[in-house]
Structure 1
């Protein structure tokens, strides 16, 4: 197995074996890359307590779960073939989340 190693004089990235003297020059200067991709619906579920965030606007929208009349809301554009703008709501009482797409009825998120 080859491990990253630096050639300080040449300022190059090398890969070297720890058991023998084998060394080879790296094709790319990136040693490790970790990318996390979320679908837009997952991104809305990342923030747990939306009701305590004062930056979100509030509306007198009825929660489909507990019928409370206050919810925070925000918009998010979905990616993919149906790149539509979705309006997300979160109940200020029970934290239930739902969406409203293009003025249509409520769709439960969580």
Structure 2
């Protein structure tokens, strides 16, 4: 993924150059051997991988599915802004996902 030097927006690959979605700035891709771009990536620019490569922090949390005692965690605001964020956990073993609210 590349970001625009001018405005900071995400850039899209377009035949040898990166084109900014925000301001239209273009810059050369550089060494094309170091980039891997698929059709699906071009459409959505969303790249998903297994949780083990997610870069998420881990904590002690008991998985309700397999009983494992380690989980990746992250927080996300899913309700109105005046309510606290929701904590999400992903088991490091079975990748079961669950959440924890403050109420």
Which band: TM-score by shorter chain?
Answer: 0.3 to 0.5
TM (norm. structure 2) is 0.47
Determine which structure has the larger helix proportion and give its number: 2
The structure number with the bigger radius of gyration is: 1
* Greater share of residues in strand: 1
The alignment's TM-score, normalised by the length of structure 1, stands at: 0.44
